Amino acid sequence: MREPQQLPAVHEAWLPREHSLHRPRHGGRQLTALICALVFFTTPALLWVFGARPAEIENRHLAGFPSMGDGWAFFTSLPGWATDQLTFRGAAIEAADWVSRTFFGETPPRDQGGTTGTGPLPGSPPPAQTQDGADEPTTSGPLDQAGYRQVIEGRSGWLYFGYDAEAKCDPVRVLPDTLVRMQRLREMIEGSGRKFVWVVAPDKSTMVPENLPSSYPGRDCHQAAEAPTWQQIDNAGALDLRPELTAAAQRVGRPVYPSNDTHWTDEGSLAMTRAVAEAVQPGVTATWQSKQVGTYTVAADLPPLLGKKADKTNVLYDLRPDGIVDRAGQTITDIETPSYRFASPMSSTVNEKTLFYGDSFTKASSRYLAAGFANLTMLAYFTPKTDQAQAIGMFVNSDVVVLETVERSVSSGQLPFLDDKFLTALQAQLQANPR
């Protein structure tokens, strides 16, 4: 009987190259790779021990450690969490930006390849999560240009959020479908006896286009789509703030959007507050008075996307609905869970229970909304902190529903409350609880 063949009593790397079991030794390269891995993984840990902490350099919360209950999403979420935990990430981004601009005369390539739609702040919601194939968003035709920018660098130091262009050029849901769903939402809310107002905050690139560069990825389809987009939005019955914002800019002698931030200034917040209050209760703002009471400086949201830091300074106003008493409060910093504001009813305020279901433009305007609406709830529609049942409960518990969406979210169709699952559940609750 033939005995089984034994492996050679030598290391496989020492066998002749002709031998079928020969495996070359890579000791030098393996050692180098091991050292690099140890440095990469132990340096952040050592920095953490000595007090260094990762910073929120992109004006968003750092990614949390994923839950084991997320299934396979646990593994796909780990890279984002690990990246956010790098304490030296801000310095690395700044270094990459300096090298690219100094030696190549352009922004680093990390800013190319399309944005995720999340935006520099929660004002640009994440992509809508579909629940089944029947509700899969439809998309438009091929892109006219590749390599969208997170930030478009314009003339005279002006910065624009790149998703303004990408949303129109490569939507996740085509605009006609979005507007059909929006009409369904309007009909179910109004059919339940509640008032409904849909207000659209214009993109900065829409209101201040003169400082856009002569060329940028998506420029052609971005500009070609703007007029038809607004025509369809207006036909759908949305509250168009462009005239009010234009008038405010003429009144103060400057744009109502900062050069380095994608959100409007307080003049824009006041314009939306007045316009929505009039839409809910015509004539209610007849006695409203506002005057400048100071300025404030906060971090701008676009420079961090380029690895930089910069501030913006806005004018602060009061708001006296009766022309006498200032009712403006503090700006709310978080609407990811319902934020309630109550005040004594006045004949010059909207006193019905009002839900403002919006994005970061609602949050930026919260100081003035709380002055004009006596019984107000504000909630972000993009938040994972408030589940579907809680959000629907806010609709049911309101007499007036104000839906605020930024233009780029409408253009892209990234509006999670328009998914079939949400609309169906909301309709059932509204029918069961009419006003």
pLDDT band (50, 70, 90) for residue 65:
confident
Model pLDDT for residues 374-419, shown as the tens digit of each residue: 999 999 998 888 999 999 999 999 999 999 999 999 999 999 999 9
Looking at the predicted structure, is the pLDDT value of residue 46 above 80? no
Computed on alpha carbons and rounded to an integer, the radius of gyration of the chain in Å comes to 27
Span of 62-76, 179-193, 229-243, 287-301 with lowest mean pLDDT: 62-76
> What does residue 205 show for φ and ψ, rounded to 5 degrees?
-65, -20
Looking at the predicted structure, is the pLDDT value of residue 42 above 80? no
**DSSP H or E stretch at residue 388:** helix 388-396
pLDDT of residue 20: 73
pLDDT of residue 131: 36
pLDDT of residue 140: 34
What is the CA 236 to chain-centroid distance, rounded? 23
Ranges of each domain in the chain: 138-432
Looking at the predicted structure, is the pLDDT value of residue 272 above 80? yes
* Contact indicator for 341, 378 with CB cutoff of 8 Å: yes
pLDDT of residue 381: 94
Q: What is the mean pLDDT of the chain?
A: 84
Looking at the predicted structure, is the pLDDT value of residue 45 above 50? yes
Determine the angle formed by the axes of helices 266-280 and 242-252, rounding to 10 degrees.
Answer: 140
Q: Is the dihedral of CA 115, 121, 124, 126 positive or negative?
A: positive
Strand-by-strand arrangement of the 354-358 sheet: 239-240, 195-201, 400-406, 354-358, 375-380, 339-342
Measure the CA–CA gap between 160 and 206, rounded to whole angstroms: 10
pLDDT band (50, 70, 90) for residue 16:
confident
The single-letter DSSP state of residue 350 is: B
Strands (E), 292-419: 292-299, 311-317, 339-342, 354-358, 375-380, 400-406
pLDDT band (50, 70, 90) for residue 61:
low
Span of 101-105, 138-142, 236-240 with lowest mean pLDDT: 138-142
Greater confidence (59 vs 147) lies with: 147
pLDDT band (50, 70, 90) for residue 59:
very low
pLDDT band (50, 70, 90) for residue 167:
very high
Model pLDDT for residues 117-144, shown as the tens digit of each residue: 444 554 443 333 333 333 333 333 333 3
Token couple for 55 = 């910073």
- pTM, full prediction: 0.75
**DSSP H or E stretch at residue 151:** strand 151-153
Model pLDDT for residues 189-206, shown as the tens digit of each residue: 999 999 999 999 999 999
pLDDT band (50, 70, 90) for residue 47:
low
Strand 195-201 versus strand 239-240 pairing type: parallel
